[in-house]
Amino acid sequence: MKFDRNTLIGFAILAVLFAGYFYFTTKQQNEYEAKKRATAAIEKAQKDSIDRLNKPKDDSIKHVQDSIAALTKTTLFKSNGDTTEKTMQVENDLVKITFTNKGGQIKKVELKKYKHQDSTLVSMAGTGFDKFSYPINTGKGGPNGTAETAEQYFTPGDIKKNADGSQVISFTLTSADSASATSITHEYLIKKDDYMIDLSVKMKGASQLFTGGLMNLNWQYAASQQESDISYEKQNSQISYVKDGSFDYHTISRKSSKNFDENVSWIGIRQRFFMGILTARNKFSSGNMEWTIPSDSSKTVVRSTANMKIQVPAGAESLIPMSLYYGPSEYHILKHYDMKYEKAINLGQGIYSFVRPINRFLIIPIFDFLKGFAGSMGLAIALLTMFIKLITSPLLYKSYLSGAKMKVLRPELAKLKEKHGGDQQAMSMDQMKLFREAGVNPLGGCLPALLQIPIFFALFSLFNSDVALRGAEFLWSKDLAAYDEVIKFGFNIPLLGSHLSLFNITAVVTSFMISIYSMSMTPDQSNPVLKYMPYIFPIFLLFFFNRLPAALTWYYTVSNLITLGLQFVIQNYIIDHDKIMAKIEENRKKPKAKSKWQERVEQMQEQQRKMKEMQQKNKR
């Protein structure tokens, strides 16, 4: 069997990078599993405590009821005698928002353009955990004379419609003491065709409401499961923020809290395809954020609690402008706000950040153009693959030309191997001499293989984060953003899972075909590692690709098919092997100037040869 050493080097490098990613992904998954077990234990302990508290004695119940009644009578604010929760709905073409008068806050946001697998609308910020609240001074009653706004009943106003299509809804909390003249108004602005919800917190008598002029805002957000594979969704979720003008993030499995001592523009939780963001237009002065990963059975990706501080402007009337975003983590939508929200989208992060410019300036513009007329996402991916092959074809041609030259030299290399037998030192020296005389670069095929690495990882990042792929059907795949489950085992196989992706099989089979085709291009390979690499690499891909999005395995399949076609056409119809041989003979006649690198290599080989000869003499 015969192998192209240059291609094998490329395979080896690619395999190392794949192995590195596989290692970090496995490590992250193990951390997530450990945290999940710890969280489950905490949740059980909390549940047991709640169950015990829910069974008090009769006199305890009466005591609690009396305390609540006393607090209601002494509170600083009033609710016009109405302590019943009421909801109101406001919607535009993109979202349907449910507000509640309890806390004057958002109760649920439904995204009209995105659906679950059961055809219901994707819902965000709609769990009992979600909350937007801050403590205010009551002057009477309550622990330390404060009360949470989330527990107060605001008076809702009418929904106002503006000429530009935007809508305004407000909730007001007024003082029960007419002498204090304090009030709080939460005013929400819902723009036409926009996911962003502007929130203006308007206050009268803020100096009485907040100690030291500081609002301690509490934002609780539970990111509900939106995709079929919750564990993969958790691996692709993160906490994001901008502090001192710089973006940063944490994967939810690596840390569980973050303290902010600097000014913070916004904080957010990005799931794989959706994102919740809280922005302070005048910035948070400091704060902290904590998050937990619930068990998979809760159908919640992550629960986060942010306690952020905002300096309240002094004066009789104060205004704190904020905004809330609940919507898709779509690059163009988030970039439009010019707040660095789009940096949260994983187009290349961490050790793979080097591929982000490739996505931003090359892949995304071309892919957007192709999506506009392709008719289906699968066809757009195929056209994108063809485009990538087109722009890399000059380098691919050089690679194939290098392979053709190696094929021409194969008989002479075989003679050298027969001449030197097992003497690898002498074989290497004569082989380099042959390559130099023939004008053949033994590394000529490496560059194209190396070029495929950043392109692959750029597409790996893009296809894992592009919400346009979510729910897109193609051939047998019902969702290009997830793996296709054509073959189900009904049981779990280590490293492989409980299914076998059909697109994964096509990617692996075409990889085998490329390896087999390349075998005839170069001399015999005595190194067992390189000898069997063409077989090992596709098997490695079988396990690595099985949980990846169908979009990526489909791309890899198309790429391999195009590569096979190009190899066949170039080797059989474009490259003239007789001309190559004539050119090699012509190069041999020309005087060759050795490079310094070649001289150093030959010197080292000569020294090693002499040392080996001396060792053999000493043994005799």
d(CA 566, CA 183): 73
Bridge-partner residues for 279, per DSSP?
A: 266, 323
Residues in Cβ contact with 385 at an 8 Å cutoff, skipping those fewer than 6 apart: 555, 558, 559, 562
CATH class of the domain comprising 56-80+129-150+176-345: mainly beta
pLDDT tens-digit map of 474-525: 999 999 999 998 888 888 888 788 889 999 999 999 988 887 776 655 555 5
pLDDT tens-digit map of 264-318: 999 999 999 999 999 999 999 999 999 999 988 899 999 999 999 999 988 888 9
Domain positions in the chain are: 5-28+356-603, 56-80+129-150+176-345
Which has more pLDDT, 555 or 29?
Answer: 555
Run of H or E residues at 581:
helix 577-589
Q: Which amino acid is at 327?
A: G
Would you state the pLDDT for residue 337? 95
Region 368-391: what's the mean pLDDT?
91
Both tokens of 163, joined, read 């000429």
Instruction: Find out whether 497 and 387 touch, Cβ atoms under 8 Å.
Output: no
Three-class HEC string of 538-577: HHHHHHHHCCCCHHHHHHHHHHHHHHHHHHHHHHHHHCCH
Instruction: Find out whether 401 and 574 touch, Cβ atoms under 8 Å.
Output: no
Instruction: Find out whether 275 and 268 touch, Cβ atoms under 8 Å.
Output: yes
pLDDT tens-digit map of 105-154: 999 999 999 998 888 999 999 999 999 999 998 865 444 578 999 999 99
Instruction: Find out whether 204 and 172 touch, Cβ atoms under 8 Å.
Output: no
pLDDT at residue 414 greater than cutoff 60:
yes
For 2, the 3-state DSSP assignment is strand
Model-wide pTM > 0.75: yes
Residues in Cβ contact with 341 at an 8 Å cutoff, skipping those fewer than 6 apart: 266, 268, 275, 277, 325, 334, 335
For 308, 321, 351, 467, the CA distances from 188, given in Å and listed in that order, are 20, 10, 40, 27
Both tokens of 255, joined, read 């840390």
Name the residue among 570, 563, 540, 544 with its Cα closest to residue 385: 563
Region 193-222: what's the mean pLDDT?
93
Instruction: Find out whether 39 and 292 touch, Cβ atoms under 8 Å.
Output: yes
Name the residue among 345, 338, 346 with its Cα closest to residue 196: 338
pLDDT tens-digit map of 49-60: 545 545 544 444
What ranges make up the beta strands (E) of 252-316? 257-260, 264-270, 274-284, 286-292, 300-311
What ranges make up the beta strands (E) of 176-299? 183-190, 196-204, 214-224, 238-243, 246-251, 257-260, 264-270, 274-284, 286-292
| Band (594; pLDDT cuts 50, 70, 90) | low
d(CA 141, CA 77): 11
Q: Is the dihedral of CA 63, 65, 70, 76 positive or negative?
A: positive
Q: Transcribe 467-496 into DSSP letters.
A: GGGTT--BTTBS-TTS---SEEEEEEETTT
Name the residue among 392, 379, 400, 390 with its Cα closest to residue 555: 379
pLDDT tens-digit map of 81-96: 567 899 999 999 999 9
Tell me the helix, strand and coil percentages in the chain, rounded to 5.
50, 25, 25
Look at strands 257-260 and 238-243 and give their pairing: unpaired
Residues in Cβ contact with 375 at an 8 Å cutoff, skipping those fewer than 6 apart: none
Region 59-64: what's the mean pLDDT?
46
Residues in Cβ contact with 133 at an 8 Å cutoff, skipping those fewer than 6 apart: 103, 105, 148, 149, 150, 151, 217, 218
Would you state the pLDDT for residue 137? 87
For 595, the 3-state DSSP assignment is coil
d(CA 497, CA 294): 22
Would you state the pLDDT for residue 263? 94
d(CA 15, CA 1): 21
Instruction: Find out whether 456 and 450 touch, Cβ atoms under 8 Å.
Output: no
d(CA 31, CA 252): 10
d(CA 446, CA 200): 58
Which has more pLDDT, 12 or 327?
Answer: 327
d(CA 112, CA 92): 9
